[in-house]
C-alpha cells in the first residue's frame, strides 16, 4: 500500500489496519457502543468456529477403536491431552462431560483464530478491498486481536464458573461463600470478603480475555511494522522485512499455540476453582 505514489504514511497504514470493518462503515468513536457490530471479527470467528467443528466432527465420525489413521491419531492426541488436563484440574466426572469439550473447543478454535496472523497482513484486506470495490475498506482478520472476541469468550467462561458455583454449592452456599471467604466468617469481614470476591471474578475474567487479546494484538502490530519496513521498497527494507518477518513468524508459531493452550488451561482452572469450597 505504502509503495503507491499517493500511499498512506506509516501512521495512516497502521491505523487503517487496526480499524475494524464494522456495521457503521467507519471507525468506532466511543469506547463502548452496543449498537456496533465488528463484521470482520464475526465473519472470521464464526467461519473458523465452523471449520473447527467440521474438523472435529469429521474426526468424531471416523473414530473407531481399531487402528487410527494419521488424522484421527492427531485429533486423538489433542483430545487425550485435553482430557488429561481436565481430569487433573476438574475433579467431577459429571462436570467434565461438559467442561472437557469446552476446553477442546476453546483450544482448537483459538488456535485457528490466532493462526490467521500467519497470513500476510495485507493479503485478505487487499482482496476485500478488491471485492468491495472500496480501496480503503477496513478489515482485520485476527478475531482474537479484537477485545470483543476474547472478552466474549472469557465472559463465557465466567458464566460457566457461576453456573458451577451455584450447581455445586447451592445458591445459598455460594452466597455464604461470597461473604465469608477468603478472610473468614465475621460480620465485620462480610463487606471486605464480598469486595475481594467481586474483584477476583472481575480480575480473572478481564485478565483471561486481555491476555489473549494483548498477545495477538501485539503480534499483529509487529507484523504490520515489519510490513512497513518492506513497504519502504529499499534494499535494506526488503532484507529487513524478510529476515525480521521470518523470525517473528517462527516465534509467533509458539505464541499462537501457547496462548491457545494458556486460554484453555485457565478455562479449566477457573472452572475447577468453581468446584472447590473455601
Length of the chain: 278
Contact 197, 165 (CB under 8 A): no
Q: Is 116 in the site for other proteins (CB under 8 A)?
A: no
Helix 235-275 crosses helix 190-231 at what angle (to 10 degrees)?
160
- Tell the smallest beta-carbon distance from residue 217 to other proteins (Å): 8
Q: Is 256 in the site for other proteins (CB under 8 A)?
A: no
Q: Which of 85, 105, 165, 197 binds other proteins (CB under 8 A)?
A: 105
Q: Is 259 in the site for other proteins (CB under 8 A)?
A: no
The 183-212 contact track toward other proteins, x by CB under 8 A, reads: ------------------------------
Residue 34 has what DSSP assignment? Answer: T
Rounded to whole angstroms, the Cα distance separating 175 from 47 reads: 39
Q: Is 66 in the site for other proteins (CB under 8 A)?
A: yes
Q: Name the residues annotated as catalytic.
A: 207, 211, 215
Only one of the segments 33-41, 134-142, 185-193, 247-255 lies at the binding site for other proteins (rule: CB under 8 A); that segment is: 33-41
Q: Is 32 in the site for other proteins (CB under 8 A)?
A: yes
Q: Other CB atoms closer than 10 Å to residue 270's CB: what's the count?
A: 20
Rounded to whole angstroms, the Cα distance separating 231 from 224 reads: 10
Burial class from Cβ neighbours inside 10 Å (0-12, 13-18, 19+) for residue 159 reads: exposed
- Tell the smallest beta-carbon distance from residue 75 to other proteins (Å): 7
Q: Is 41 in the site for other proteins (CB under 8 A)?
A: yes
Contact 242, 229 (CB under 8 A): no
The 211-250 contact track toward other proteins, x by CB under 8 A, reads: ------x---------------------------------
Burial class from Cβ neighbours inside 10 Å (0-12, 13-18, 19+) for residue 268 reads: buried
Footprint on residues 126-185 left by other proteins (CB under 8 A)? 143, 146-149, 151-153, 155-156, 159
Only one of the segments 6-14, 96-104, 193-201, 255-263 lies at the binding site for other proteins (rule: CB under 8 A); that segment is: 96-104
C-alpha cell at 132: 468491495
Amino acid at each position: 500500500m505504502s509503495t503507491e505514489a499517493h500511499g498512506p504514511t506509516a501512521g495512516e497504514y497502521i491505523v487503517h489496519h487496526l480499524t475494524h470493518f464494522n456495521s457503521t462503515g467507519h471507525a468506532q468513536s466511543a469506547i463502548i457502543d452496543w449498537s456496533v457490530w465488528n463484521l470482520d471479527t464475526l465473519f472470521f470467528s464464526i467461519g473458523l468456529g465452523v471449520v473447527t467443528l467440521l474438523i472435529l466432527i469429521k474426526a468424531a465420525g471416523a473414530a473407531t477403536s481399531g487402528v487410527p489413521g494419521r488424522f484421527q491419531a492427531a485429533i486423538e492426541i489433542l483430545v487425550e491431552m485435553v482430557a488429561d488436563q481436565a481430569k487433573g484440574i476438574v475433579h467431577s466426572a459429571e462436570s467434565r462431560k461438559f467442561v472437557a469439550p469446552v476446553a477442546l473447543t476453546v483450544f482448537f478454535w483459538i488456535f485457528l483464530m490466532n493462526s490467521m496472523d500467519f497470513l500476510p497482513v495485507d493479503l485478505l484486506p487487499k482482496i476485500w478491498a478488491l471485492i468491495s470495490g472500496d480501496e480503503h475498506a477496513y478489515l482485520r482478520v485476527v478475531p482474537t486481536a479484537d477485545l470483543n472476541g476474547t472478552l466474549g469468550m472469557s465472559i463465557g467462561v465466567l458464566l460457566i464458573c457461576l453456573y458451577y458455583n451455584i450447581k455445586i454449592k447451592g445458591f445459598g452456599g455460594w452466597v455464604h461463600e461470597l461473604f465469608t471467604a477468603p478472610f473468614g466468617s465475621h460480620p465485620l469481614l462480610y463487606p471486605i470478603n464480598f469486595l475481594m470476591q467481586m474483584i477476583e471474578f472481575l480480575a480473572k475474567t478481564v485478565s483471561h480475555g486481555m491476555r489473549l487479546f494483548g498477545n495477538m494484538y501485539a503480534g499483529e502490530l509487529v507484523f504490520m511494522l515489519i510490513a512497513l519496513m518492506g513497504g519502504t521498497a529499499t534494499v535494506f527494507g526488503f532484507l529487513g522485512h524478510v529476515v525480521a518477518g521470518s523470525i517473528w513468524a517462527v516465534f509467533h508459531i509458539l505464541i499462537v499455540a501457547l496462548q491457545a493452550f494458556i486460554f484453555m488451561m485457565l478455562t479449566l482452572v477457573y472452572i475447577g476453582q468453581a468446584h472447590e469450597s473455601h
